[in-house]
């Protein structure tokens, strides 16, 4: 079974949308393998998004991701990476298709309510960033 990481971001946690987002994910056939609520330091946010270190939006992204609590969720399903990205919608919430999680609960490119792994390899790396094998 394929594994992917969903992060419910600070804007969605703050707005009370944890349950709404988890319901959509579960209704779409995902199994929640493990999850937690946490609050990243700048160093942790920077390490999680290290691939974007040279991008102009990196500092703002880290500032946003440490601005409040987040909920990382390890999910499994057949074709989990692609399917999660489908139901999240486009990265920019203002361009995401109606009914997708980012359209419903995000408000901009930065405040887009959620993150999903972009490849099978990153699904493994990103779930391992937050969770140990024992938690599965
Ligand atoms: P996420 O899926 O968490 O991965 C990286 C995040 O950077 C992305 O969602 C966006 O919220 C954020 N971001 C901010 N500006 C940009 C940009 N210009 N291009 C891509 N992602 C951006």
Residue 108 CA to ligand 1 center (angstroms) comes to 10
The SS3 of residue 56 is: coil
pTM, to two decimals: 0.97
Confidence of residue 93 (pLDDT cuts 50, 70, 90): very high
Q: pLDDT above 90 covers what percent of the chain?
A: 99
Distance of CA 81 to the CA centre of its chain: 11
Interval 106-112 mean pLDDT = 98
> Domain 2-131: which topology?
Alpha-Beta Plaits (3.30.70)
Model pLDDT for residues 74-85, shown as the tens digit of each residue: 999 999 999 999
Q: Whose CA is nearest to atom 10 of ligand 1?
A: 110
Interval 50-72 mean pLDDT = 98
Cβ of residue 51 lying under 6 Å from some atom of ligand 1: no
The SS3 of residue 23 is: helix
Q: Looking at residue 79, what is its pLDDT?
A: 98
Catalytic residue among 101, 115, 117, 130: 115
Cβ of residue 110 lying under 6 Å from some atom of ligand 1: yes
* Contact present, 66 and 39 (Cβ < 8 Å): yes
39 has catalytic annotation = no
Cα–Cα separations (whole angstroms), residue 51 to 35, 48, 57, 58: 23, 8, 12, 9
Residue 110 CA to ligand 1 center (angstroms) comes to 6
Q: Looking at residue 18, what is its pLDDT?
A: 98
User: Which is it for the CA torsion 45, 47, 48, 53, positive or negative?
Assistant: positive
Burial 52-87 (b: 16+ CB within 10 A, else e): eeeeeebeebbebbbbeebbbbbbbbeebbebbbeb
Cβ of residue 95 lying under 6 Å from some atom of ligand 1: no
Q: Looking at residue 88, what is its pLDDT?
A: 98
Q: Looking at residue 37, what is its pLDDT?
A: 98
Model pLDDT for residues 2-48, shown as the tens digit of each residue: 999 999 999 999 999 999 999 999 999 999 999 999 999 999 999 99
Interval 103-119 mean pLDDT = 98
Residue 112 CA to ligand 1 center (angstroms) comes to 8
Confidence of residue 108 (pLDDT cuts 50, 70, 90): very high
Cβ of residue 120 lying under 6 Å from some atom of ligand 1: no
């Amino acid at each position: 079974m394929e594994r992917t990481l969903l992060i419910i971001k600070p804007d969605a946690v703050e707005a009370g949308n944890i349950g709404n987002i988890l319901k959509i994910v579960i209704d779409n056939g995902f199994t929640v393998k493990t999850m937690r609520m946490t609050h990243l330091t700048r160093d942790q946010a920077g390490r999680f998004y290290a691939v974007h270190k040279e991008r102009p939006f990196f500092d703002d992204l880290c500032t946003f991701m440490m601005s409040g609590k987040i909920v990382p969720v390890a999910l499994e399903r057949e074709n989990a990476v692609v399917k999660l990205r489908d139901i999240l919608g486009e990265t920019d919430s203002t361009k995401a298709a109606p009914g997708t999680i980012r359209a419903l609960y995000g408000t901009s490119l930065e405040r887009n309510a959620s993150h999903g792994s972009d490849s099978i390899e990153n699904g493994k790396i990103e779930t391992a960033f937050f969770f140990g094998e024992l938690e599965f």
